[in-house]
Chain A
Amino acid sequence: MNLNEAQRRLRWGVFIILVGVAILLTILDNTGNLDAVLRFVQDPLATITGWTAARADSVADLTTGPRDLDTARDEIARLQAEVDVLERENEELREIQGEYQLLLDLFNRARQQPEFTRLTASVIGRDTSPSLRSIIIDKGSDDGVVVGMPVESARGLVGQVFRTTANSAQIVLVTDNASSIPARLGNSRATGLLRGGGLGGSTSIDWVDLTSQIEVGEVALTSGLGGKFPQDIVIGRVIEVDRREAELFQRAIVQPAVEFDALEIVFVITSFRPVDTEIFTNPPGG
């Protein structure tokens, strides 16, 4: 066996071993068998990422405006926060108006929304995948964050906790392709399934009954069906209705209320525990 032959064999050996390891890791992670190892590795990385993200924020602030405009920028930020709160109040008021119109007020008062405990967290990273939509926050299992907890911002629903480490958590955004959340529309009371559009598409509420009269501008909220999210969290607003008489269902395109690219602070709803509905999928006695 000459040197070239040996090198060629070594090359293919390395390639086959590494591909095998990568496939094995993918299978192990996909079946949830690497969670403990990942937590161990991701914890120190989250600290480094948090530190780096804070420095990047400072640089980003410097590049977006001169320093002598600091006061004006603070004022703008304060006003923007007020606008966010007012917009949210406005959307909540529209929601209440819709309930009055349908004479469901009395029933809804009986099951008033409980006061949820919220944990404030900073966004310290974004998904490194070009096609997936998730963020990393600086709060983890040590702070009481549990997989499945809903996450919102001042403007509305952000997503759901996917994975936690001691001091960080990954949140899958509602705009991710794999995201599907039971949703309801404010005025028409139509229900459907909110699906993320991913990178190329738009977020939409699918499987809406054709008999429902959806209007552009309606507020989309979480319906609470399925027990994975609390009800009445603002998701966004309907910007287009895709209604074809030949089909059984219609579809509402939704503009999310949250600007996901500009997210810096989020709230994890820690007092809400997702309901495990798996039991209902098993046949009785099975």
Chain B
Amino acid sequence: MSSTIYLALPVMLALAVLQTAVLPRFPILGMVPQLPLLVALAWGLLRGINEGIVWAFIGGLCLDLFSVAPLGTTALAFMLAITAVTWIENAFPTSRFFLPVVMAALATLIYLFIYLLLLRLLGQPIDLQTVAKLSPTALLHSALILPIYWIMHLLDQLFRPRPIKI
């Protein structure tokens, strides 16, 4: 696990910069995807819950650096969402297509619920309209997870220790 933590930091920092400076200029159907959530989810599905949580934590903290939300709120919501979906992962049929798509939608909805709840608890006046407006992001994430899962799969192959013949 330790080797990919060093990978998570630059990847998530770069994604956070993209998230604040680039993605809002190119919204997809009026929505901005949360790339760090999808990357952490894909990594968690490929490498297990432990690494998924660490990537979610780092990704959330990096995002919070560019937000007026208190530091740690996104990290907390990301971690809980990814823990929840990887926890119930076994309940779904193992499929490289079906699993990430469903997991992305579920993780997004859980993340949004926890994140908005946290903001509400911290005094932000979040209303139901905001929840309704953000819910379609789950569909967008379902569509985007496959290329991201594929890229992360390649990265996983690159960093996975290779067997040595003796």
Contacts and interface: CB of A to CB of B under 8 A. Distances in A.
Interface of A: 10-11, 14-15, 18-19, 21-26, 28-30, 34, 38, 41-42, 45, 48-50, 52-53, 56-57, 60, 63, 124-132, 134, 136, 162-163, 170, 172, 176-178, 197-201, 261
A41 B65 contact: yes
Contact of A48 (B17, B61, B67, B119): B17
A129 B68 contact: yes
Contact of B130 (A48, A53, A162, A177): A177
User: How big is chain B's contact interface, by range?
Assistant: 35 or more
A265 B61 CA distance: 28
B76 A19 contact: yes
Contact of B72 (A15, A23, A170): A23
Interface stretch (B99-107, B132-140, B146-154, B156-164): B132-140
A52 B23 CA distance: 11
B116 interface: yes
B72 to A, nearest CB: 3
A165 B123 CA distance: 24
Contact of A128 (B19, B53, B137): B19
Of all A-B residue pairs in the complex, the 5 with the closest CB atoms, nearest first, are A200-B129, A25-B72, A125-B20, A26-B72, A29-B71
Interface string B13-35: 10011111110111000001010
B155 to A, nearest CB: 21
Chain A contact residues: over half helix, strand or loop, or mixed? Answer: helix
23 contacts: A11-B50, A18-B54, A18-B57, A18-B75, A18-B79, A22-B75, A28-B71, A29-B70, A45-B17, A45-B66, A49-B17, A52-B21, A56-B21, A56-B26, A130-B115, A131-B115, A134-B67, A163-B68, A177-B127, A178-B125, A199-B133, A200-B127, A201-B129
A197 B68 CA distance: 17
Interface of B: 13, 16-22, 24-26, 32, 34, 49-50, 53-54, 57, 60-61, 63-76, 79-80, 83, 112, 115-116, 118-119, 122-134, 137
Contact of A125 (B13, B21, B54, B116): B21
Contacts of A172: 68
A33 to B, nearest CB: 10
B24 A126 contact: yes
A8 B165 CA distance: 31
Given A129-B63, A129-B67, A134-B67, 20 more contacts: A14-B53, A19-B79, A21-B57, A22-B60, A22-B79, A26-B70, A26-B71, A26-B122, A29-B70, A52-B18, A60-B26, A125-B20, A127-B67, A127-B69, A128-B16, A132-B124, A170-B68, A178-B123, A201-B127, A201-B129
B68 A200 contact: no
A38 B68 CA distance: 11
A38 B66 CA distance: 10
Contacts of A261: 24
B72 A38 contact: no
A279 B3 CA distance: 54
A199 B71 contact: no
Q: Which of B19, B125, B131 has the most CB of A within 10 A?
A: B125
B26 A177 contact: no
B88 to A, nearest CB: 15
A163 B122 CA distance: 17
